[in-house]
Structures are given as structure tokens and as C-alpha cells.
Structure 1
Amino acid sequence: MNIIISNQSDLPIYEQIAESFKEKILSGEISGGELLPSIRSLAKDLRISVITTKRAYEELEKEGFIETIPGKGCFVKTKSSELLREEVLRKIEEHLINAVHMAISYGIGQEELDEILSYLYEEGGRHE
């Protein structure tokens, strides 16, 4: 499992781990029903505390991304495609809200912002 932790990030390590798993689940890289690495194994691979890994898994479980089955491990919850879509839309909205705030603060109008978004979408998100 490829999870990158940055010491430069403002996010605590457990949040970085949880966010990494969320992205992998939402993108379909990790599918519903898939067994996650054990808490100890992930902690050893990432060279971090078991407590930190446990906290990341607890966050994921609290948010409904994974479930723990005693004696078997932690598994990605099988969500309906509609729930996954809603989660992805929520993340997109967060990014767009930031873009709108930035545009407003620099005096860029909605029409120009719409043009930028249309262009980026047509280019498939490629940014040079």
C-alpha cells in the first residue's frame, strides 16, 4: 500500500493516512470489501506509532469508509455508487468554493471563471 507521509504538511500524520485511504477508496483504487493492512503492519511500513495508525483507522471508520470485523481485520465498506458519487461531489465543491473565493478576492468575474473551468475541463485537467 503506497501511502506518503509528509513532515512538511500542516495535517497531523493520522489525518494524512486517513486522507490517503479516502482518496484511494473514492478513486476505486481500493474497492469495497478489500482488506486493509493491519494496524501494526501499516505502522511498521510507515515507521510510525501504532497509536497513530489506529487513530487514522478510527477516523475512517467514524466517517463510514471502513469497518472493523473483530478477529479478521479492517475492510473497506461496500458503499453504493451513489454514496461514493456524493462524497466525490462534496470534495469537488470544496475545491470550487476555494476557487470562487480566490476569484472574488482578485476581482475575477463569474464569466471569466466559467471560461477557465470550461477550458480546463475540455483539456481533461491537463495543466502545463
Structure 2
Amino acid sequence: MDIIISNTGAVPIYEQITRQIKGLILRGELREGEALPSMRTLARDLHISLITTKRAYEELEREGFVATVPGKGCFVAPRNLELARESLMTQIEESLSQAVRLARSGGVSLSELNESLRILYQEEPL
């Protein structure tokens, strides 16, 4: 499992991990029942705090993406991927609505907004 984190961005590290693991699950790269690396292993591999990985895994579990089996670890939870994708689309629409409001209030045109989105989509790591 390849996770890339940025220490310089505005997005907290635990959230970067959470987003990337969700993406792997939604794209089918991590399948139902598949084990995730232990929190300690992930923390060591990413050179981050164990507390950060614990927070990411807790968030994933709270949202139903993973299930923890005591003494065995975290596994991709069984879920309705269509429902998960719909939830993701709702979050995207909320964020885009906020961006549109900001753009309108600042006089940013739709073409400028589209160009910004295109650039961000191509360059921003998960």
C-alpha cells in the first residue's frame, strides 16, 4: 500500500492517510477483508507518530471503511461501495459549493474556477 504524505500542505497528515486509504478502497485496490498495515508499521514506514496513524485508523473505522479485530488488526470492512461513493460525492458537492460561493463573491469567473480545479486535480496528491 503506497501512501504519500506531505508535511508542507494545509491538510493534516492523519487526513491525508484517511483520504488515500478511502480512495484505495473505493477504487477496489484494497478489497473487503484485506488487512491494513499495523498502526506501528505504517507510522514507522511513513516516519510519523503512532498517534497520527491511530487517529487515521479511528476515522476510517468511524466512517465504516475498516473494522478492527482485537489482537489481529484492521481490515477493510464489508460495505456497499455504491453507498460509499454516494457519500463521497455528497462531500465533494459541499466543498465545491463553498468554492463557488467564494468565487462568486470574489468575482472569479467560471472559466477561471474550472482552470483552477483542473490544475488542482492534476497536481494535488491524494
Report the TM range for the smaller structure's normalisation: 0.7 to 0.9
Indicate the structure (1 or 2) with the bigger Cα radius of gyration.
Answer: 1
Equivalence for 2:89: 89
TM-score, normalised to structure 2, is: 0.74
**2: CA distance, partners of 1:28 / 1:89:** 17
- 1:5 is displaced (CA, Å) by 1.1
Equivalence for 2:8: 8
Deviations 1:23-68 (A, max 9, x none): 2222222222211011111111111122221111111111211110
- 1:107 is displaced (CA, Å) by 6.3
Residues 91 and 23 of structure 1: CA distance in aligned 2, closer, same or farther (over 3 Å)? farther
5+ unaligned residues in a row in structure 2: which ranges? none
- 1:99 is displaced (CA, Å) by 4.5
Farther off after superposition, 94-103 or 79-88? 94-103
CA RMSD of aligned residues (A): 2.4
Equivalence for 1:78: 78
- 1:79 is displaced (CA, Å) by 0.8
The runs of 4+ residues in structure 1 deviating greater than 4 Å are none
**2: CA distance, partners of 1:49 / 1:103:** 37
**1: CA distance, partners of 2:23 / 2:103:** 26
TM-score, normalised to structure 1, is: 0.73
Q: Is the 8 A contact 1:26 1:88 kept in 2?
A: no
Residues 85 and 16 of structure 1: CA distance in aligned 2, closer, same or farther (over 3 Å)? closer
**1: CA distance, partners of 2:80 / 2:22:** 15
Question: Which structure has the higher relative contact order (CA within 8 Å, separation 6+)?
Answer: 2
- 1:104 is displaced (CA, Å) by 2.2
**2: CA distance, partners of 1:81 / 1:55:** 23
Equivalence for 1:33: 33
Residues 19 and 107 of structure 1: CA distance in aligned 2, closer, same or farther (over 3 Å)? closer
